[in-house]
């Protein structure tokens, strides 16, 4: 059933204009957004069948060449929920990251650290009926980036997440508990609320670590919720 989306709480998100992150200065809209209740356009969204996935899509350690990538092996797992804590099942999650040395396989990345011939850097999965997802990867390295003269990105994994509604679409980044670069990062610090930043930091999860194999980090993701009441009184299409 298609349900109206709950209005987005912008206090959870970075504002558009964040001069500490210089790229935002000329790329941030300055006028107020047009607010209105969700319509069918935002309440519906694409569906991805499991048939799009290959068997190793969520295993970044081996999915590029079949040979093992270099680095600390880590499981990244968690649940995809909506604001009402309902699991979001059947949702596509895509991730991308630098290799263990902090280098991306991308023509624009010229960092000194070498490419790993066995690491591509992307993975994807579809959440199960409990909203759970899981990736096996290597811990990405920190890397320097041009902003002020000596800015470094903390270890992070980029996440692209679909819900059931196009209005729930989200891209974010996951950080690793204990990384001293998190507090210094201008991109992290675009988020004004420290409690919101904490929700991007995945704790070490020894209960899910695999002995003699891989550490684990747990990262739950919450998308916008929908209104739960049954009363629906509106013209078709709105």
Partner 1 sequence: MPQSLLLLPETPSQTAGPYVHIGCVPNHAGISGIYADDPGQSPFAKDAAGKRITVTGSVFDGTGAALNDVMLESWQADGDGIYAPYQGWARMVADAHTGQWQLDTIKPGPVGPQAPHIALWIVARGINLGLLTRVYFEGDDQLTDPLLSRIDPVRRVNTLIAQETDPGCYRFDIHLQGDQETVFLDI
Q: Which of residues 87-116 bind partner 1 (CB under 8 A)?
A: 92, 94-96, 104-109
Q: Taking CB under 8 A as the rule, does residue 52 contact partner 1?
A: yes
Neighbours of 23 (CB within 10 A): 13
- The rounded distance, in Å, linking the Cα atoms of 61 and 73 is 8
Going 188 to 141 to 132 to 55, the CA torsion angle's sign is positive
Q: Taking CB under 8 A as the rule, does residue 118 contact partner 1?
A: no
According to CB under 8 A, which residues from 162 to 181 bind partner 1?
166-167, 169-173
- The rounded distance, in Å, linking the Cα atoms of 111 and 128 is 37
Q: What's the closest the beta carbon of residue 211 comes to partner 1, in angstroms?
A: 29
* From 127-135, 154-162, 176-184, 207-215, span contacting partner 1 (CB under 8 A): 154-162
CA-CA distances (angstroms) from residue 128 to 51, 69, 145, 164? 14, 27, 36, 14
Total site size for partner 1, rule CB under 8 A: 91
Q: Taking CB under 8 A as the rule, does residue 149 contact partner 1?
A: no
Which of 8, 13, 105, 158 is an active site residue? 158
- The rounded distance, in Å, linking the Cα atoms of 165 and 83 is 13
> x/- contact string, 55-74, with partner 1 (CB under 8 A)?
--x-----xxx---------
Pick 104 or 216: Cβ nearer partner 1: 104
* From 24-32, 68-76, 132-140, 206-214, span contacting partner 1 (CB under 8 A): 24-32
**Token pair 């997440």: residue:** 161
Q: Taking CB under 8 A as the rule, does residue 79 contact partner 1?
A: no
- The rounded distance, in Å, linking the Cα atoms of 99 and 114 is 9
Would you call 156 a catalytic residue per the annotation?
yes
Q: Taking CB under 8 A as the rule, does residue 83 contact partner 1?
A: yes
Neighbours of 12 (CB within 10 A): 14
- The rounded distance, in Å, linking the Cα atoms of 48 and 67 is 28
- The rounded distance, in Å, linking the Cα atoms of 9 and 131 is 22
* From 69-77, 132-140, 153-161, 209-217, span contacting partner 1 (CB under 8 A): 153-161
Pick 172 or 209: Cβ nearer partner 1: 172
- The rounded distance, in Å, linking the Cα atoms of 197 and 11 is 12
Q: Taking CB under 8 A as the rule, does residue 85 contact partner 1?
A: yes
Active site residues: 104, 143, 153, 156, 158
């Amino acid at each position: 059933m298609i349900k109206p989306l709950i209005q987005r709480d912008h206090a959870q998100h970075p504002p558009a204009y964040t001069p500490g992150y210089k790229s935002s200065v000329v790329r941030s809209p300055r006028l107020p957004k047009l607010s209105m209740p969700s319509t069918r356009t935002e309440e519906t969204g694409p569906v991805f069948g499991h048939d799009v996935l290959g068997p190793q899509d969520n295993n970044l350690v081996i999915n590029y060449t079949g040979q093992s990538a270099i680095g600390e092996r880590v499981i990244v797992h968690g649940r995809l929920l909506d604001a009402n804590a309902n699991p979001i099942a059947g949702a596509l999650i895509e991730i991308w990251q630098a290799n263990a040395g902090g280098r991306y396989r991308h023509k624009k990345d010229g960092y000194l650290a070498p490419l790993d011939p066995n690491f591509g850097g992307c993975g994807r999965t579809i959440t199960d009926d409990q909203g759970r997802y899981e990736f096996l990867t290597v811990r990405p390295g920190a890397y320097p980036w041009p902003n002020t003269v000596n800015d470094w990105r903390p270890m992070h994994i980029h996440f692209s997440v679909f819900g059931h509604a196009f209005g729930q679409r989200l891209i974010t980044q996951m950080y690793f508990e204990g990384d001293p670069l998190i507090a210094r990062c201008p991109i992290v610090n675009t988020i004004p609320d420290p409690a919101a930043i904490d929700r991007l930091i995945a704790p070490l999860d020894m209960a899910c670590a695999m002995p003699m194999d891989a550490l684990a980090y747990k990262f739950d993701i919450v998308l916008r919720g929908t209104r739960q009441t049954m009363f629906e009184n509106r013209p078709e299409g709105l």
